[in-house]
Amino acid sequence: MAKYVRVFRDRGGIVRFPPHRPEERRLWVATAKSNREAWDYLPVMQRTDRLRRGLSYMWAALRYPRCIVAFLGREAVAALSYDVKLDRVEVRVVGSRQADNARGAGTALELGLAEEGIRRRLPLRGDYEADSRNFHLRLGRRLDLVAHENSSEWTLEDCQFIVGGIEKAL
């Protein structure tokens, strides 16, 4: 994980946490919507379902006030929305532009999510789609603890281990 976070940061990437100013978020949402709509006009070979989902999910994540956002320069390149429950931080949706120059943005978001779990002293839970299972495995997530839900989880101790290890490696 540290390698991908380092690549992202070396290119000037940063991660921002809520609260976000409403006028900023409105701009990010409008840009994400425009990026999703532009997918319809891409050359056929570039119009992959994975890219469409990534753009749609990013747009959805940014519409939610509680979102962690990865930026490259002034441009939002990935976003993750979440809720805070009594017993966990629940991931809502994660999406990205999947831009080559923003490699590592998704991993940087996941590091930010682990930091959020530590700040709140809560474990994390979300789910995954079949084509992202390997990404969740590489992150060290505990998968499928909830039967038939494609659950993806980190305990609070996992979050502490991951953040500590990555920060040392950076």
User: What is the per-residue pLDDT across 21-69, written as a single tens digit (0 to 9) for each?
Assistant: 999 999 999 999 999 999 999 999 999 999 999 999 999 999 999 999 9
User: Number of folded domains in the chain?
Assistant: 1
Q: Is 9 left (phi over 0), alpha (psi -120 to 50) or beta?
A: alpha
Q: Could you tell me the residue range of the domain that residue 122 belongs to?
A: 2-169
Rounded to whole angstroms, the Cα distance separating 114 from 120 reads 10
Could you tell me the two tokens for 67? 């979102």
The pLDDT of residue 24: 96
pLDDT tens readout for residues 136-168: 888 888 888 888 788 899 999 999 999 999 888
CATH code for position 104: 3.40.630.30
| Residue 89, both tokens | 């931080």
Cα dist from 87 to 21, 68, 91, 117, 127, whole Å: 27, 20, 13, 11, 16
| 73, 87, 119 from 163: Cα distances, Å | 24, 20, 11
